[in-house]
Structure 1
Amino acid sequence: MPLETPVRVAQELARRGYNAEREAVTLLAGAADPASALDRAVEATPDDALRLTTDHVRAALDAETPPASGGDVGGDTPGEDPSVSTGEAGTRSQDTGGGAAVETAGGTSGGGRAAGAGGPADASESGDWAGRSVEQALHEIEIAGDITGRSTGTGEYDDFVTVFRDRYERLAGQLRGRVNHRPAEAIQAMGGGSDAEMIGLVNDIRSTASGHWLIELEDTTGVFPCLVMKDRDIAELVEELLLDECIAVQGTLADDAGIMFVDAIHFPDVPRTHRPSTADRHVQAALISDVHVGSQEFMAEAWHDFADWLHTEEAEHVEYLLVAGDMVEGVGVYPNQDEELDIVDIYDQYRRFAEYLKEVPGDMEIVMIPGNHDAVRLAEPQPAFDETLREIMSVHDAQVTGNPSTVTIEGVSVLMYHGVSLDEVIAELPEEKASYDEPHKPMYQLLKKRHVAPQYGGKLRVAPEEKDYLVIDEVPDIFHTGHVHKLGWGKYHNVLAVNSGCWQAQTAFQKSVNIDPDAGFAPVVDLDTLDMTVYDFS
């Protein structure tokens, strides 16, 4: 197959075991005879090198030796497999001048820009652009909150006590500046009619026969009942509460001091004065998730288009790729999944994913966290991939970390969380507060509660550890999730919340549970302004 586009060059290099810098791929695609140029560049690359550099290519192109006889270059690359998409992803436009704005269920609530690219250009449309050299010395990545290698939980009762005590202490610390907290046992000893303020975990929520709300709050000394009258403005806040989250209340004790009449409810929340950090230069990060390689509905052509675009001038500032889980489809994740698999062996799924990852420019920094379809423990927090899987995906030298983790790139903090708890939030809260069609809204709720998985005991599995790795201690600049296969974004108290959709067309299982995915989109964030553009490769 002729190497008419950068992604074809990247695919062929991947087939030979290499990835490559973006400019190196651009030079090869623009050569008079790309196949012969690629052969010479590979021959000139040291045997122990895994990455083809721009210097390797320039040396090969400048060499006086005659080009090797190559013939057609291609072979069994991922791009030559029959399309495994459903056909829902139409042919993309080649107009690089822009296009209609991407219309998504998430909208642009709260800010950010949603300009849709009509699609990337082929190498032949890139004019005289010869690529650019990425200053990799400027790349800065710091990772915090990673459980990998730190798991101590054994599942004993004391482990659960420890993790909930840690949750309470850390979230209570965020609330103590707003209320004068008194422990539950101290409030029980106060006289009737006294003013009282308390911080606690929500132990129970129920409505009374009169339609009022009774909330039981628990701290480290005991439980105390709090009553929210149905005719109070704060009654609507009760609809946002989840079990096990931490809140503060202010109110007055009844005459018998056995209950508190609540006047105010406070969440840990993101301060309205929060001002995000930005990068010191114009650099961009692509946020994606839920690739699901191994599924019959993995959108291979959309991925090829995305990888191809990353090699173009339009994407020259995209230097980071953050992947929020579910690299592969996995095995046995849901009923009858085997009937929808294109690759049935989990390790082969990761090997194929690694081949697709090699299409991404070799000078991009990649950070990945696992999801519920990946081959790690289901209980959160999830550790990063084990050594076997890291070795399979090692060619691109991607950084792997646990779920969740806070990844700081050039001063901009990105809280990466796969997002399984979004199912719980959407199921428990009113539709106007949280829905699949607007996935950024349940993300707002997690920011408000300062915890990525506040409710324990539902479908989400939580591993008891010596500390609660799911607490949001520091306010992130960007909150990136996936899991629900819906695209949505917005700003909550100046935090950019992005759910990045997926790369898997609708499966039979998804159709049976009424999930209509947003597939083939790539949100790209300007790290110097936190503005965002969504590119459509479907």
Structure 2
Amino acid sequence: MPLETPARIVRALVSRGYNAEREAVTLIAGSDDPGVTLAQVVESVPDDALRITADHVRGVLASTPEADPPEVEPASGAPEKDPSVSPATPADQTEPVSETTPPEAKGSWSGRNTDPALRSLEIANDMTGQSTGTGEYDDFVKVFRDRYEKLSKMLRGRVNHRPAKAISKMSGGEDAELVGLVNDVRSTKSGHWIVELEDTTGTFPCLVMKDKDIAAYVDELLMDECIAVQGTLSGDAGILFVDSMHFPDVPRGHRPNTADRHVQAALISDVHVGSQEFMAEAWDRFADWLHTEEAANIEYLLIAGDMVEGVGVYPNQDEELDVVDIYDQYEAFSERLKSVPGDLDIVMIPGNHDAVRLAEPQPGFDDELRDIMSAHDATITSNPSMVTLEGVNILMYHGVSLDEVIAELPAEKASYDEPHKAMYQLLKKRHVAPQFGGHTRLAPEELDYLVMEQVPDIFHTGHVHKLGWGKYHNVLAVNSGCWQSQTDFQKSVNIDPDSGYAPIVDLDTLDMTVRKFS
């Protein structure tokens, strides 16, 4: 079969043990005889080369007199992509969840037809290489000051904020409004609530009466999140009686961005290669399906952490490992990644099982791991990161703080069975991990990279191994399940995972369907 498409070129290279740069694939595909060019490139590269570069291909083309290598000019501001091939009719998406295992690739589809200029992928707030924290006291002061400044700006348009120190000097009975981080929450003997708020000038106690409607908000509060209150000072001006409470929140009138054409993204997480419970057959079905015409409009694959099972993450984990060396796990993951189409744009962030620091924000993988996972030249960024695909802002966060949210809040507000509701709470707080000093490890940096300064159009998490999605103030929240069946450890903590699912999002409408491969 002729190598007239980028996907076939990538598969042919993979079968020979090579990865390739996008531009290298583009140059091979644009040559007079891609099959001959590919063979000459493979023959000419050094024996120790694992990756075909554009320079390798140019060298072959330059040594062939009749060859006229095409100019490869990416669109301004857009990354280089593979050349286009014929578009396919979008898959029927009337059913939100497909329980039928999709057919495997038949080899009759010629590939995606995408003008490289139409694709765009940008990353914001990648903190890889930007870490400055040393664990000193001043580092903690800086990160909390930055958190307060960013979140208080979102609230000051709703209240006439006065600093805590200034309120303490006011007369009793006056109206007062305060923006602060939650420093303490405690109940009184009468069943009322005292919420102590802290700003850059000090702390001030605020009393929420149990018979007020806003008392329900107290159950949602986490330590260190930022809120605003309005109320009246007591007669001695020692406490503020709260009449209303505000959260940074997503504006109710938020209008999400959408792509200008019909294009889709697959959202997955928690692959856990290296575990005895990794679902290899389900992954293979997913990868095969991505090569079919039914998946023709999927041009982006977003993986929200935990590429591998890791080592020493939980007690007795070594008894559940199929691959015991962490680097061998990443080698095995890379092999799995090679099975997906080479003309997909892939974005990956780390998770708590990955070989990066546990404290959030987590920088992207180091150079050694990036070299191992070089298949398809994936974009690797930090956890969390805002990824913009053709104008659609997707906040990718692995999701460790969801455990804490679910543990602290009432079941109707957040649960493992409905993980997207826990995500709603993070959107409401505009912070992916607001509580410091709990189960979620947080690193003190000069900046708080965990604040949601920009409202996402899609919020994508993993970690809890449960599938759930919904919309909160027009933001699509998706927890994408996992690719690992239940482990003995999960049984011991009563986690029944949702495995082998792939949420597929239409970037032009933000509608979503879920494909099942297990």
Cross-structure match for 1:445: 425
Deviation of 1:132 after TM superposition, in Å, equals 3.2
Instruction: Please state if 1:159 is matched with 2:156.
Output: no
CA contact (8 A) 2:21 2:376 kept: no
Cross-structure match for 1:121: 103
Q: Deviations over 1:464-507 (max 9, x none)?
A: 00010000000010000000000000000000000000000000
Report the residue type matching 1:119 in the other structure.
Answer: T
Cross-structure match for 1:14: 14
CA contact (8 A) 2:306 2:354 kept: yes
Cross-structure match for 1:375: 355
Which secondary structure does the structure 2 equivalent of 1:308 belong to?
helix
Pick from 250, 257, 273 the counterpart of residue 293 of structure 1: 273
Report the residue type matching 2:101 in the other structure.
Answer: G
CA contact (8 A) 1:18 1:52 kept: no
CA distance in 1, matches of 2:321, 2:377: 27
CA contact (8 A) 1:21 1:361 kept: no
CA distance in 2, matches of 1:349, 1:309: 24
CA distance in 2, matches of 1:441, 1:495: 12
CA distance in 2, matches of 1:182, 1:393: 51
Deviation of 1:17 after TM superposition, in Å, equals 1.9
Report the residue type matching 2:405 in the other structure.
Answer: V
CA distance in 2, matches of 1:461, 1:11: 40
CA distance in 1, matches of 2:91, 2:455: 36
Q: 1:162 to 1:499 in 2, by over 3 A?
A: same
Superposition map of 1:207-356 within 5 A = 207-356=187-336
CA distance in 2, matches of 1:463, 1:42: 47
Q: Deviations over 1:127-148 (max 9, x none)?
A: x643333323322111111110
CA contact (8 A) 1:99 1:116 kept: no
Report the residue type matching 2:318 in the other structure.
Answer: D
Cross-structure match for 1:508: 488
CA distance in 1, matches of 2:277, 2:325: 16
Deviation of 1:11 after TM superposition, in Å, equals 7.4
CA contact (8 A) 1:100 1:116 kept: no
CA distance in 2, matches of 1:52, 1:188: 66
Q: Deviations over 1:373-427 (max 9, x none)?
A: 0000000000000000000011310000000000001000100000000001000
Deviation of 1:303 after TM superposition, in Å, equals 0.3
Cross-structure match for 1:496: 476
Gaps of 5+ in 2: 1-6, 26-33, 58-89
Report the residue type matching 1:310 in the other structure.
Answer: L
Report the residue type matching 1:356 in the other structure.
Answer: R
Report the residue type matching 2:39 in the other structure.
Answer: E
Deviation of 1:12 after TM superposition, in Å, equals 7.6
Q: 1:173 to 1:425 in 2, by over 3 A?
A: same
Q: 1:135 to 1:98 in 2, by over 3 A?
A: closer
Q: Alpha carbon RMSD of aligned pairs, Å?
A: 2.6
CA distance in 2, matches of 1:222, 1:216: 10
Q: Deviations over 1:242-293 (max 9, x none)?
A: 0000000000001111001100000000000100000011110000000000
Deviation of 1:116 after TM superposition, in Å, equals 1.8
Q: 1:354 to 1:120 in 2, by over 3 A?
A: same
Gaps of 5+ in 1: 1-6, 26-37, 57-95, 102-113
Which secondary structure does the structure 1 equivalent of 2:103 belong to?
coil
Q: How high is the TM-score relative to the length of structure 1?
A: 0.82
Report the residue type matching 1:263 in the other structure.
Answer: D
CA contact (8 A) 1:99 1:118 kept: no
Which secondary structure does the structure 2 equivalent of 1:445 belong to?
helix
Pick from 25, 32, 39 the counterpart of residue 43 of structure 1: 39
Report the residue type matching 1:260 in the other structure.
Answer: L
Q: Deviations over 1:315-341 (max 9, x none)?
A: 001000000000000000000000000
Superposition map of 1:94-105 within 5 A = 101=95
Which secondary structure does the structure 2 equivalent of 1:153 belong to?
coil
CA contact (8 A) 1:199 1:249 kept: yes
Superposition map of 1:382-421 within 5 A = 382-421=362-401
Instruction: Please state if 1:534 is matched with 2:514.
Output: yes
Superposition map of 1:116-155 within 5 A = 116=98, 118-124=100-106, 129-155=109-135
Which secondary structure does the structure 2 equivalent of 1:390 belong to?
helix
Cross-structure match for 1:206: 186
Q: 1:385 to 1:228 in 2, by over 3 A?
A: same
Q: 1:354 to 1:182 in 2, by over 3 A?
A: same
CA distance in 1, matches of 2:263, 2:19: 22
CA distance in 1, matches of 2:287, 2:220: 40
Q: Deviations over 1:101-155 (max 9, x none)?
A: 5xxxxxxxxxxxx24262322344x7x6433333233221111111101100000
CA distance in 2, matches of 1:431, 1:387: 42
**Structure with greater contact order relative to length (CA < 8 Å, sep ≥ 6):** 1
CA distance in 2, matches of 1:97, 1:321: 17
Q: Deviations over 1:182-229 (max 9, x none)?
A: 111111111111000000000000111110000000000110000000
Which secondary structure does the structure 1 equivalent of 2:375 belong to?
coil
Moved more, 38-47 or 518-527: 38-47
Give runs of ≥4 in structure 1 deviating > 6 Å: 7-12, 38-41, 96-100
Which secondary structure does the structure 2 equivalent of 1:396 belong to?
helix
Cross-structure match for 2:436: 456
